Each structure stands twice: as structure tokens, then as C-alpha cells.
Amino acid sequence: MNNFGFNFDNTYAKLPEIMATKISPVPVKQPELVIINTHLAEELGLNFSNTSPQDLANLFSGNILPEGSEPIAQAYCGHQFGHFVMLGDGRAHLLGEHINPKNTKVDIQFKGSGRTPYSRMGDGRAALGPMLREYLISEAMHHLGIPTTRSLAVVKTGEMIRRETKLKGAILTRVAASHLRVGTFQYVAAKQDLNALKQLVDYAVARHYPELLNSQNKAVALFKTVMKRQAKLVTEWLRVGFVHGVMNTDNVSISGETIDYGPCAFMDQYDPKTVFSSIDHYGRYAFGSQSIITKWNLARFAESLLPLLAEDEKKAVGVAEDLIRSYDETFENHFHEMMKKKLGLISNEENDKAIISELLNLMYNNQSDYTNTFRYLINNKLPQNKLLNDTGFITWEQKWKNRIKQNQEEALNLMIENNPAFIPRNHLVEEALKDADNGNLEKFELLLNVLKKPYNEQPEYQNYSQPAPVTDKVYKTFCGT
């Protein structure tokens, strides 16, 4: 059996039985390779040079399994739009944990690979469009420098799946630091298995944060570290205008990666209330609410750790409350430093917060494009006159120029590093996915190529930096489940 360079060491499968179910992907009728991430494959130390497209299709559909893999479906819970649900991998199979040439361990997971015990009446399958969306957006996020799961391949299954209409079936191969989630801890806590909870904390620390191994209280140390990672992560989302869209606790990764690109999208005009998800009717996961919901999700994480925070329940609750209380300051510090970088503010001055808030208010009032406004400050190119003609903005811009003039070159370089010229514009993503669903990957691959260098000007692709044409139609995204 060919293992294609996979080097598996499957530690998760050795955790208590309640954590997962051993189960193989469900074979498909006629797998066909759609796209493979050759650069990522090389980084992983995988060798497909002598592998035919059909053999790759069989591999990434689960019709054949690489040597050393031990497929499992993981169990976890989730607060979905605030409602607690017992979940698990209803359409995913973790093949195993691969050790790459840098001796780093990553999960190799199939998504859309068939029914599991956690499918809850679902068919265990996924559609081509949503799998290609995750491939495109996750790779764009990687090149934007934001912690994220990666996409290795997409394969068509040769089968149709039924949603509101019949859609082409597909399987995505996802690479992640791990698939440990807040919901994983919630699941064990809900089972009231203290021994399993202790093992899970030990496992998470050993896998992701070995520097915490000698901590006096590993549960407390783990929470503090995850909280910092999540505060930093959501700050990075806000930096580039990203709206996750489905920030349930089962989509909060313990490693601090962005995970699950369902109804995600990128904001054009700056508006903190921006929502794209078709099922987010009340703006729970709106652009400007992402920090608030991150804190809420972390509170659920702290609740699941209560038995390990202190022996006395009342004291444990007090510890949890103190931990959660520290989130606001942690996030505000990350956010302030991030916005300073976007504006090239090198030193610390008293009026920095005012400069930041004034600009955001002006952008909101003038319906300014979020990405292009910051790039305008770098290169004076902004195809939007409303903001430029606002007397408030003219005054603000002069104030900002005076603020950075002592370190102008350094300030502009800092801004270039933190303000992308290109993001996955929603209308371009939709056009690329529509063509790809019809078998034409030209637009998809071109967009993917442009997004590999998001901070470069790329003048030949300036049309890729423009927001969607004005229309009365409200852009909506869907979970793809």
C-alpha cells in the first residue's frame, strides 16, 4: 500500500473512547480530482509526483486509505446561535495526525466523506461549491498571514446530493494544527467524565502548548493561553474585514486557527453591523460583534473546565469569572495595536485612540470601502469621492499626516504590511465558484493566484481590488451543510 509520504502518529485515537468513533470514509462512485494544493503538499512532505490524477482522486475521496491512517469521527458539542447541541463529525473523518518534515504534527481530515454516528439524519456529504469556497478562502487567509486551517485537495464524488436543489457532491481535504475545539471540552464536561476531562487538558497542553506542562494548574494556564490566541485571532479578522459568520463553540479552535469556512465573507463598505449569513437573522455574528461572541464562547470554555479550575465549586466559579473578566483588556490592547499598525502610528501618543475612532466613524458615515480606504492612505488612490469630499475627513487626514511625518517612510512600510490591497471580494468569489461548478476553473485559479500576494499592488489586476457594483440585492452566504 502506498502511503504517499504520509507519516502518521495517531494520538487522538488513543484518548478515552467517548471522544471519537473509529469509522472509515464511505466510498464514492466516481471520484474525480478537481484541485490539489501542490505547494502545501510539498510543505507536508508528501510526494505525488508519480501518482495519476485518478489515484489522487481515489486517495482524496477515501476510496483508498494511506498506510498508517486510523480514520475516526470526533465527538464534540456546540452552542449554535446560543443553543447547546450534542454534535460531532457528522460528515467528516479524521484520517490521522501527520508529522511533516519540520516535525510538526497536523491533522488530515476529509470533509463530506459520508455518514458517521454523529450525522443526525444527515447524508454525511458536502457540495462542490462550499468545498471550493473553503479551499479558496482558507488559502487566502493563509496568504494574508492569519492563522487558519489549510486546504489540500477537493475531489468530486460523481454523486449528486440533495439540498434545496440537487448539487454535485465533493470532498475537501483539510489540514489543521488539530481539530480540538471549545466544543470538544464541552462534550466531555457534559458527559461528566472528570478523568477524560483531565486527559483532554493534558493532551491539549502537550500538543499545542508544551511550555505549560509544568504549570501549577494546567487548566487555568490553558484557558489563559487560548484566550490570548482567540483575542489575537479575531483582531486579525477585523484587520482584513473578515466575517466568519458561524462562530459557534464547535468552531473555536484550541490552537487559535480559523476553522470552518461556511457562510464567511469579506466586508466591502465599513459597517460594524455587516452580516452575510442567511441564517444569522439578528446579527449575532456580525463583523463588529465578533469580539463579543468570542468572549461568550470563551466563557463556555471556562464553564467546561470548572472542575479543574479549583477543588471547591464556588472558588472555581470565581476563578472562571476572573479569567473571563480579563478578556476585554486583552482584546482592546490587541485591537489598538492592530489599528495603529494599519495607520502607521509608530510611537504611543494620547490622541491615538481618537484618531482611530474618528476615521472609523468617517468611513461608516461615508459608506467607504474598508480595504481601499487604508490603501488610499498609502498610495492616494481611492475610487470613491464621497469620503474624500467630506470636510471632516480632509481635517482628519491632515491631522494623521502630521502624526506620522517624523517617521513617514517607516509608517508607510508598516501600513503596507498590514493593509492588503486584495481580499476575496464576494462577487468575484461567487463568479469563480459558479464557473467552477460548471467545470471551468479558470476564474477560480486566477483569483487564487492574485490572492497569493495580497499586499502587493499588482496593477494588472486592479479590477480584483474593486468592491462589488452597487445593487439593490443584499449579498447572502450559506452554510453549505
Just list the catalytic residues: 250
> Can you tell me the distance from the alpha carbon of 469 to that of 249, in angstroms, rounded to the nearest whole number?
35
Q: Which three cell numbers, joined as nine digits, stand for 389?
A: 469630499
Q: Which three cell numbers, joined as nine digits, stand for 207?
A: 500538543
Strands 72-74 and 20-22, by their bridges, are: antiparallel
Strand partners, 78: 85
Strand partners, 174: 109, 151
Is 230 in contact with 294 (CB distance < 8 Å)?
yes
> Can you tell me the distance from the alpha carbon of 448 to that of 461, in angstroms, rounded to the nearest whole number?
12
Is 139 in contact with 36 (CB distance < 8 Å)?
no
3-state helix, strand, coil in the chain (%, to 5): 45, 15, 35
Helices (H), 246-289: none
DSSP 355-411: HHHHHHHHHHHTT-BHHHHHHHHHHS--S-HHHHT-HHHHHHHHHHHHHHGGGHHHH
Q: Which three cell numbers, joined as nine digits, stand for 198?
A: 483531565
> DSSP character for 231?
H
Give me the half-sphere count of Cα atoms (radius 13 Å) on the Cβ side of residue 189: 20
Give me the half-sphere count of Cα atoms (radius 13 Å) on the Cβ side of residue 132: 29
Which residue matches cell numbers 502610528?
345
> Can you tell me the distance from the alpha carbon of 55 to that of 422, in angstroms, rounded to the nearest whole number?
35
> Can you tell me the distance from the alpha carbon of 387 to that of 370, in angstroms, rounded to the nearest whole number?
12
Q: Which three cell numbers, joined as nine digits, stand for 20?
A: 471519537
Is 336 in contact with 353 (CB distance < 8 Å)?
yes
Counted residue by residue, the chain has a size of 481
Is 240 in contact with 266 (CB distance < 8 Å)?
yes
